[in-house]
Amino acid sequence: MDTKKPIYRRILLKLSGESLMGPEGYGINIQVVKGIAAEIKEISELKVEVAIVIGGGNIFRGLQGESQGFDRATGDYMGMLATVINAMALQNFLEEVGVFTRVLSALEIHQLVEPYIRRRATRHLEKGRVVIFAAGTGNPFFTTDTAAALRAMEVRADVILKGTKVDGVYDSDPLSNSSAKRFSQLTYLDVLNQKLKVMDSTAISLCMDHDLKIVVFDLFKKDNIKRVVLGEDIGTIVS
């Protein structure tokens, strides 16, 4: 029987839109989302309060739109709407496994999701509901990384958990360079000075200014979210 206790009371889980698309390369893979929902249920049952910021890159990305001729602000707003679609998909499968969930959006879409209000979000978390923050910050030119840092500080999360396709932060792409070196610990300044692809510079600077720890880990290895929450030594810690 696992007797370990969670080391965090409240977490902010950052999921990229790409993490939902599976091998198809676009859209939402139902089995992938169901797997993520099952893992989130496990940590919710440990009485850990869970907030989530989700991206939209599996459907539309503002920068990508700009390269194709969209006005950057228009593209970013389209990307925000994509995050709402992803949030609703994740909410659907969380509730399917019995996890009470609320989606709070920085863009008001009253027929579908609740508007983001900080005190309301905190109250949902205190009641044990998983809260999914959609539509980024509600402003163009800001990424969902920055939204994750901002929301984590607003709801006073203990840590940002960033799920990726690899088991931490490397000095180069481990998928194309077999000799890439993985870091177990980094400082915020290490990330900024070495231009490591952890989160964008605005998000890292926000975390540095407010001493908010980031753990980067492999989202697709079974039970990894739970292992991070229980304090096991996996991934890369940025602090």
- Domains in the chain, CATH or no CATH each: 10-238 (3.40.1160.10)
Q: What pLDDT score does 1 carry?
A: 45
Residue 105's nearest CA partner among 127, 79, 87 is 87
Tokens coding 55: 């991206």
Locus of tokens 């991070």: 228
> Which residue stretches of 68-187 are H helix?
72-96, 118-126, 144-154
What's the confidence (pLDDT) of residue 2? 59
80, two tokens: 């925000």
Q: What is the pLDDT of residue 173?
A: 84
Q: Which residues of the chain register pLDDT less than 70?
A: 1-2
Q: Please state the length of the chain.
A: 239
The reported pTM is: 0.94
- How many whole angstroms separate alpha carbon 105 and alpha carbon 223? 28
φ, ψ (nearest 5 deg) of residue 53: -115, 130
Q: Which amino acid is at 106?
A: A
Q: DSSP E strands: which ranges in the chain?
A: 10-15, 49-54, 101-105, 114-115, 130-134, 159-164, 169-170, 182-183, 185-186, 213-218, 236-238
Query: How many other C-beta atoms lie within 10 A of the C-beta of residue 63?
Result: 13
Q: Which two tokens stand for residue 9?
A: 């009371």
